[in-house]
Structure 1
């Protein structure tokens, strides 16, 4: 039986049978707290006499009428499909169903605000979840128009893809004392079902507008929950949006394709945001109720611009099937970074990209589950796990490389022609390459084969020979590839020469841009130049490749890392050092020393955050087990010292305190945390606000210095959605095996726990100083994996399987237990096996790093 899956073969077959014209969708949101009434009328053409199916996930189907003929729901509805037989050339299908609200962030999510008891709803449909709200041919190439009619409490805001119409009075289905209304929206343009949307509830709203390139006035809206509205900086969101509109319309030469642009910040969201056409939803963690790092503020800007880019790439032009998901996500990731760097105050966005996105891509590309950017997507389960560092970050990196290779002007011209030719349609990879070849004059067949259709990351190393006077006599770039993915690729990259100036700073004194291909590339233009202190491959980060430093450059980089003047160059050196640790070439303990000795001079917030996260991973999993307790103490001591010496109120001070709380391990650390919480210890410029207080408390819980009494008291002062999530995380942090078992059991057995509580419980579960408390949890975790996959929705299963993988153990015993599970479950769903395989790969890498550290 298909369950809720859909194969690509089935989608191709259905698209050969069906052409969809329109949907009319009537939703009544007043029928109670668990289900809502859904009536769908779909008009479509078909091959006469053919049979197919339409998708629906619903607890009850009341009526199915095809071309005036009543069909028995008990006969035609099974799993997630309604069977349709004896189709005519032109068809009208009406399906009446009771659909279910979710608390998983899929379909129509229902949230009750603990602050005021108000109900908030929002949809999330990508990949296959519009079928949880209405009957639909759920695949991206069966585009249609969508006309929504919604009945809800009169005082709610009701938002969809088209402008919100004036409501008319209606009857509330379950409570006559509540005034209801009906909103009848205009039909959308022809779009894919996964970018339709509905958001409803008593949201606070701010409104503005802008003038599009074609002279139209585009209405703007920014929404959040009422209880968060005092923190909502809608004016800044509008300002960023206007910058994005101007940048994209000028760059693409194509006006914004929809009628209005609303941005809605919603609770318990599974991801950063979603590009619903004209109705973009965001995680409400982007509504800042407490201080956040500059890195998070920048990330919000990139996210706003990423979703706006999707209005063209993804919404106006959509991939035919999910194997070309990268056409949506890689492009939006690349172009939003470009827009951030060139149209906003975050002009160092490419440094952020190198520090965070590239690190994500390199990590993903070295897992056993890596895949080509153009991935083989057999079914919906495949695509669910492919929202990963390959599809987003590697794809964006490769597009940056392509721009460097063909030239920006040719690239932009090709993209503009692509939009013009395929507007409102569906495309595949050759459609884009055809336009880029036409504008650039380059044959991209070989480039595509090597970059888009093969997996793996190359490593580039410089080999420099000099004469007795320090003049370069030979300069060669060596390229290698892993045995599993042996492709050697062409790279357009910069080579930077850095020397110490009179002030003791390492600054660039020369740069060459060259093409590298094959195993060895001689760079003749660098011969006869004086050897600099530091040679940096991939200067300016044009290429997608891991880089290594030659021995002399490495020694200089380690000694003078904090003195490199260019933040992007520093980021590349940080990244090279981290890659060497992950690959077992450099001891993790030396990386800890590098970070603790240089992080205080780092100016870029995302580089600080990424590097400190890597420090945590190095200490907790990569340092040899015997050295780990001492290294943990040393790191905590040093972070506390650096926090005391940091500029008052600075982003660096804030981050150092946050990571100190995360790594605290001694009574002295506990005393500092307690002092910061009760005010007996202060750091100039540091405010202990609500969210930071939770982080300090978690550090105390981690060390057994606080428990349920303190958690409950803090929650009583902050009984909000975020407070409840923080309390769940703190409770799961209690450093005992019993608490860890209870945390796992709470999410496995309680099917009512919402996604955000599960996510935060997992974060606390893996927050340990002594990882041995997790050893007894391995068996119950593995016992639960298959049941969770079979019984829970995809997003919840993923949260549990990934979030509760006991990675901090990083032991031979964990490796062997997980390997045994995989051997015993060879017939498990490939997407499930992929999640487990990725966990195992992390453990195996940690063991190799530990061995390298122990042998240093």
Structure 2
């Protein structure tokens, strides 16, 4: 409904009318399984006589009192907004309501643990969902203090942004207690938090750079707590604190730091001030890849960076969302690389974040880093590869441009000047201009205010003895986004030495224009491999010259530098996606070189791209044969890998994912029943589910086997794995059942919805999805209107039958777009779906040549 989708103009008008001082919020969590009592008192100043509104989504508003005058809720409340007329200069508003728990991961999420029946709650408020819990001026530039009082079962833990007080038992309600938290510092509403339930906790502390003792807590629910490696998490947290306090020259700005692992979380984590929530997938009950272990460290440091950049200093409006997230991406990567044992974090960034950014930046929905955000729906679909990964890449380019010391000095000045306030991009750039002496207005216009990714390729000529006689870097841009940009980058010279391809020289230069001559390389001996964008400073797709490409393909495993290898891997994948290289050639490249790759995230990312190439990018007539070959080779790689290694583990996981033949099925069945073994490979609970899913994709098991596996693992993780595995069953009837389970009812919680969609997409033969094309387009507009954003987006993206990759699917998608011109955010998701299919068809055509 219109009132739910706040526009930027409305937010600006409201900011001009009111200034909020404080919220006093009382929540009673003892009123049943569906609603909780919410009482909000807001103190704010306003233009005398003006009118405005406060946001609140609830089941029922019971009373509204403005400056001592009771207002009729039926008159002033429309279900999303409460109208406030005739404001005084100083105002007190009290709103009492019955607010609803959710099962969507938005607002106050309620979860019942299937292991022990215990109830767990947690809040998730970004972007506009604190209004689901209390009445609030829901926009980031109306900061205030928040004082929470929570009534809950006495056996529970209750955590918020302020330190947890000693609860007081209620004499009139035995078994219930009240937690009265101290007011927070000035915050935006979206980073406030309430987490409640019988969570278990382990505590520690650290000493901040200003001498304060900062209490630390790590929480998880009881049935998972035994798997929590709290000492390691505390260690990474301390390393992050020390790094950021030194580099930012600003002590941690809050009183305590709790990290809470919560069930059915939609994202990786959320930067609530002093009370960060994380997905429970970061509590490892089974073996995980080193890539996932590293990703958890990066996530821990990402959220910690937000305590300064986002929570202490917050954007005025969501068009600068990118700056919050991009800064945290960049800061967490450099902190991981420099302050922890994960020293190759920039290799991970190249393999994962950059790949995400390049994909997003080539979609028709791409947008400038500084996006136009007209309303909340724009924000919700903008948590994308541009906001996070391209923005982080651009910041890395900016750091190279101004210098690391000048960058950190500018950031430190920015925090001091704007603490507890709201800013815009120019506030940061102005500080960086002072510390670096560079004018950044032109840089900002080219990098932040235009969309698209450039491609850089070398043009090199040599004499008969291999001496470089001419060297230039050529820069191109997509026709739709023709901006040519300045780049700070390095050129690496790599030569074969004792069987290794090692860097023998490095040149750092500025590139600008469509052609940049590099005179300093003329007269030098051309290396075996010439790598532009060495060290991955620039944000650009790169290509290799012909002889370097041949050397790279033949000696990819011999490149000593893991970041250089990742750049070559990335270049090969970009070239495949752009239709310059045949997908079949990419498959051969991966299968011929992945055995000796050492970086876990590079392996994980590359194997994911391998399965995409096999299932979606090779010509359809070769698909089954390619999938078979990939499965055969992955199993051989698993057998040959070092016992107990990360590589062995990953090869088995991806083999289970792409298994397709009776022989593959027999191997999976053997792994499951123990008749097939690999040295030091344990088939633990989660790997057993992945093997079962591989069997399900092949129709080798049915619902009975899935039900039996769930009975043996009737946990939240088990329920999600069972939902994913059921949805992976291969027949048209199976796919229809999965589809209907999500569309026909809104009872399933977000995590089950998400995992069902993953299983729905898991196919070797996509033909079973064809009967659902019409049903998909018949449901998406209704889902967008009736379901919450998180669920609707999962349905629109997760149930799109993309594996079909057919001209018929293109036509059906375009027909829907032509018939539905008036739902911008939904159209964006459908347009992105269409772009993926159109790219697949182009790449398939190239593969057939």
Q: TM-score, normalised by structure 1?
A: 0.99
Query: Residue 266 of structure 2 aligns with which residue?
Result: 270
Q: Structure 1 regions of 5+ residues with no counterpart? A: none
> Whole-Å Cα distance in 2 between the matches of residues 749 and 281 of structure 1?
31
Q: Deviations over 1:217-236 (max 9, x none)?
A: 00000000100011011111
The residue that corresponds to 2:38 in the other structure is 38
- Confirm or deny that 1:356 pairs with 2:352: yes
Q: Is 1:379–2:375 an aligned residue pair?
A: yes
CA deviation after TM superposition for structure 1 residue 298, in Å: 0.2
Aligned residue in 2 for 1:603: 598
Residue number in structure 1 paired with 2:838: 844
Contact in 2 for aligned 1:462/1:478 (Cα 8 Å):
yes
Partner of 1:661: 656
1:203 aligned to which of 193, 199, 204: 199
User: Structure 1 residue 756 and structure 2 residue 751: aligned?
Assistant: yes
Match of 2:209 among 204, 213, 223: 213
Question: Which whole-Å deviations, capped at 9, do the CAs of 1:107-156 have from their partners, x for residues lacking one?
Answer: 00000000000000000000000000000000000000000000000010
Aligned to 1:506: 501
Deviation at 1:558, TM superposition (A): 1.0
- Please state how far the C-alpha of 1:171 moved relative to its aligned partner: 6.2
Q: Partners in 2 of 1:114 and 1:535 — Cα distance? A: 57
Whether 2:246 is the aligned partner of 1:250: answer yes
CA contact (8 A) 2:140 2:314 kept: yes
Q: Give the corresponding residue for 1:645.
A: 640
- For the residue of structure 2 that corresponds to 1:500, the secondary structure is strand
Where does residue 306 of structure 1 map in the other structure?
302
Aligned partner of 1:116 in structure 2 is: 116
Q: Counterpart in 1 of 2:324?
A: 328
Deviation at 1:567, TM superposition (A): 0.4
> Runs in 1 of length 4+ with deviation above 2 angstroms?
none
Distance in 1 (alpha carbons) for counterparts of 2:744 and 2:124: 25
1:326, 1:697 → 2: CA distance?
40
Which residue of the partner structure matches residue 533 of structure 1? Answer: 528
Give SS of 1:688's match.
Answer: coil
Aligned counterparts of 2:443 and 2:63: Cα–Cα separation in 1: 53
User: Could you say which residue in structure 2 is the equivalent of 1:631?
Assistant: 626
Q: Distance in 1 between matches of 2:45 and 2:473?
A: 58
Whole-Å Cα distance in 2 between the matches of residues 737 and 94 of structure 1? 54
CA distance in 1, matches of 2:459, 2:712: 61
SS across alignment from 2:479:
coil
Partner of 2:670: 675
- What is the alpha-carbon distance in structure 2 between the residues aligned to residue 701 and residue 510 of structure 1? 52
Q: Do the aligned partners of 2:433 and 2:439 also contact (CA within 8 Å) in 1?
A: yes
1 CA distance for matches of 2:664 and 2:171?
Answer: 60
Provide the C-alpha distance between the structure 1 equivalents of 2:721 and 2:305, rounded to a whole number of angstroms: 33
CA distance in 2, matches of 1:754, 1:454: 39
- Whole-Å separation in 1 of the counterparts to 2:744 and 2:144: 40
CA–CA separation in structure 2 for the residues paired with 1:754 and 1:167: 31
CA distance in 2, matches of 1:750, 1:688: 35
Q: CA deviation at 1:807?
A: 1.0
Report the 3-state secondary structure (helix = DSSP H, G, I; strand = E; otherwise coil) of the residue aligned with 2:117: coil
> 1:81 aligned to 2:86?
no
Q: Which residue of 1 aligns with 2:98?
A: 98
How many residues are matched? 849
8 Å contact kept, 1:169–1:181: yes
2:348 pairs with 1:370:
no
Aligned residue in 2 for 1:820: 815
Q: Distance in 1 between matches of 2:551 and 2:755?
A: 41
SS at match of 2:287: coil
1:803, 1:299 → 2: CA distance? 23
Equivalences for residues 99-498 of structure 1 within 5 A: 99-170=99-170, 179-498=175-494
Partner-residue secondary structure (3-state), 1:226: coil
Unmatched segments (≥5 aa) in structure 2: none
Distance 2:481 2:202 in 1: 51
Kept in 2, the 8 Å contact 1:39–1:97? The answer is yes
What per-residue deviation string (whole Å, max 9, x for no partner) do you get for residues 698-733 of structure 1?
Answer: 011111111111101110100000000000000001
Match of 1:14 in 2: 14
The equivalences for 1:537-556 within 5 A come to 537-556=532-551
Quick check: 1:2–1:79 contact (8 Å CA) kept in 2?
no
**Counterpart of 1:796?**
791
The Cα shift of 1:326 comes to 1.4
Hey, what does 1:771 align to over in structure 2? 766
Question: Given that residues 58 and 79 in structure 2 are in contact (C-alpha distance below 8 angstroms), is that contact kept between their aligned partners in structure 1?
Answer: no
How far apart in 1 are the matches of 2:4 and 2:292?
A: 36
Provide the secondary structure at the position in 2 that maps to 1:299.
helix
Pair 1:784 & 2:783 matched = no
Output one character per residue of 1:765-808: Cα deviation in whole Å (capped at 9) or x when no partner.
01001011111111101111001000000000011111111111
Match of 1:63 in 2: 63
Q: CA deviation at 1:2?
A: 1.7
Name the CA distance, whole Å, in 1 between partners of 2:10 and 2:456: 43
Give the superposition deviation at 1:741. 1.1
- CA–CA separation in structure 2 for the residues paired with 1:789 and 1:812: 26
How many Å separate the matches in 2 of 1:723 and 1:644? Answer: 28
Native 8 Å contact 2:367 2:386 kept in 1? yes
- Secondary structure of 1:183's counterpart equals strand
Q: Which stretch of structure 1 is more off in the superposition, 773-782 or 118-127?
A: 773-782
If the length of structure 2 is used for normalisation, what is the TM-score? 1.00
CA-to-aligned-CA distance 1:545-586 (integer Å, 9 cap, x gap): 000011111111111111111100000000000000100110
Whether contact under 8 Å (1:368, 1:837) holds in the other structure is yes
CA distance in 1, matches of 2:485, 2:534: 18
Name the structure 2 match of 1:690: 685
SS across alignment from 1:108: strand
Corresponding residue for 1:560?
555
Deviations 1:35-91 (A, max 9, x none): 000000000000000000000000100000000111000000003100000000000
Partner Cα distance (1:601, 1:747) in 2: 42
Whether 1:613 and 2:605 are equivalent positions in the alignment is no
In structure 2, C-alpha distance between the alignment counterparts of 1:158 and 1:356, rounded to whole Å: 36
- Alpha-carbon distance in structure 2 between the residues aligned to 1:13 and 1:100: 29
Structure 1 Cα separation of the partners of residues 548 and 244 of structure 2: 40
Distance 1:600 1:778 in 2: 39
C-alpha deviation, 1:169, in angstroms? 1.2
Aligned equivalents of 2:268 and 2:750: distance in 1? 14
Deviation at 1:505, TM superposition (A): 1.4
SS in 1 for 2:5: coil
Which residue in 2 is equivalent to 1:593?
588
Tell me which residue corresponds to 2:510. 515
